[in-house]
Amino acid sequence: MNRRPAKFLLSMAILGGWILGLALIFKPGILQASMHEQLVIDARAMALGNAVTADPPGIMSIHYNPAGLSNIKEDSLISMSISGIGIDMESRFKTNSEWENFLPGDYLDPLADTSGEVTGIVAYIPGYGDTVTLPSSVAMPTGGGISLRSPGSKWTFAFGIYSPLVGGFAREGEDNPLRYGVSEVYWQHMTLSPSISFQATPTMSFGLSVGFGSSAMGMYTDTRLPNQLVALTHILGEITEELGIPVITDLTLPPPWFGGGIHPHESIATLDLSGEDNFAPSYNLGFLWDPYSWFSFGIVYHSEVKQEINGTYNMSYSDSFQNTVGWFGSSLLLDVTSLILELPTNPVAAQTGTFTTEMNIPQMIQGGISIKPVSFVNILFDLNWAQWSARTEDRLMFDQDIQALQIARILGYQEGARDFVLKRNLEDSLNFGIGLEITPMDWLTLRMGYEKRFSSVPAEHFDTIWNFPDWDVYSAGIGIGFKNGLTIDLSASYLKSDVLKINVNESEHMNNTEFTHLIYSPYAGLDYEQNFDIYLVGLKISAPTSLLNEAVGAMFNWMGNLF
């Protein structure tokens, strides 16, 4: 009896059921998806839309499913990955014809009808303790590892280093309007992961990897406050410049009021901060079941990564802001009022100190299947859920009263003078990936993949820091294997987004014009448009350690003969 048609029909039935399940789960309005995690970990995974939980990629099974380490055939294997990334992002700020300006007359916002773009990629170097700003298209090492299994053993041990989450970019230039949202920002997590897998039966394996992580974040940004109440201080400062009644005004409200006031379209302060957490542990638990040569199922749990970032900051203030602070202490009446309202009265050019914040990476669960309807074709499907809803806010906690926050309190800010808080209320992610592998020859594998990523950021909390759009991820790649065990994997991915639009008052953190939304809406009154595409390439080289030893020995022999 020929079993091949039966296997093919069963494979197609499983595929059909899985696709139907996807259609039911991913109907419009149901899902939000992951943002920038696991983009450049492994070249094979990139080429397959990260749909590799049921067929993990060698040593990087450490991340995708540590149970897959049991599938490594070599007694000892070493691997190294290099990835290239290119960012093409442009933001446009447009005049809204229905919005009346904060100030009377011809005080048009100088950012109206301007645009800005990403000028570079920011990366933090652990151990170096600082960042480097690289071109917006750059290649860099992104991970590697080694595995070991004794002949005949059911246990496989491995050690890897990689970044499951990485992001950072610069928008430099005095004429770049994005500097008021954030001029430079980065957030990354790197982990050293000892791992182990156990092959309980010929068809069932379990795995565990423990991550000893190092996390870092930082930002540099100019700030401005296009707000009705802020604009009022500027207006009152102008009209009271010549106002004065001897003695009386000196004791009550010395002119100009508010020290001349704060212009809503001018920079009032610059914030520069950076911090790290050198011990942010995590773990991955994996299960792999391949009862047939043509079918396998895998599932992996990624624990939450708790990151308590501690670092230093510098907040420098403009002359107009310092004049306003000084005005609050310029008369007996204002001194008493400022004391009651806890307002600053002694202007300073800058405040420096320490801060802390929590920037946790949420727990995730990813599951998938691998089906081979014929021996040279491998079709993979994955679902990935991440609990981004656990992130409800960004909170920076400073070691002293921040004068800008003290002033903001009288304008409605309610989080105190030491905490800077932006509501996030992110939404859980649920994305899917589809991959296809075709092996026409023993030494050559062709790959392609697709992944759908919807933004986890709700529109009302969108800004130029959390500005991740919906992405369609198209990928392709090849794998080349040599008889000596050396393998080379190449991949290319294109993250494409549609034009994203945030009209006036759609986002509290972008362009809200209500005077009660003081912190923080730097583009109030302007419509926002964004294009954000990313280009990725990956290279992974894997080889048995015996091959590496032979190469090193040959090199030393050559050097010995040379000298």
- State both tokens at 252: 């009550």
Size of the chain in residues:
563
Rg (CA), the chain: 28
**Which domains are assigned to the chain?**
4-227+264-307+359-391+426-562 (2.40.160.60)
Nearest to 118 by CA among 168, 180, 188: 168
Distances (CA, A) of 203 to 198, 289, 449: 11, 6, 26
Do 488 and 540 meet the contact criterion of CB atoms below 8 Å apart?
yes
Q: What is the pTM of this model?
A: 0.88
**φ, ψ at 208 (rounded to 5°):** -145, 130
The CA-based dihedral angle spanning residues 256, 258, 263, 264, taken in that order and rounded to the nearest 10 degrees: -150
Q: Note the pLDDT tens digit of each residue in 490-522.
A: 999 999 999 999 999 999 999 998 877 767 899
CA distance 298 to 61: 11
How far apart are alpha carbons 324 and 147 in whole angstroms? 63
For residue 362, give the H/E element and its range: none
37-46, 266-275, 435-444, 545-554: lowest mean pLDDT where? 545-554
Average the pLDDT over 230-236 and give the result. Answer: 89
pLDDT per position as a tens digit, 58-98: 999 999 999 999 999 878 899 999 999 999 999 999 988 88
Return the pLDDT at 34: 41
d(CA 399, CA 310): 11
Q: Are 361 and 6 in contact (CB under 8 A)?
A: no
pLDDT of residue 123: 83
pLDDT at 112 (0 to 100): 92
User: Got the DSSP string for 101-143?
Assistant: PSSSSS---TTTTEEEE--BEEEEETTTTEEEEE-SEEEEEEE
Burial label for 312, CB within 10 Å (0-12, 13-18, 19+), is: middle
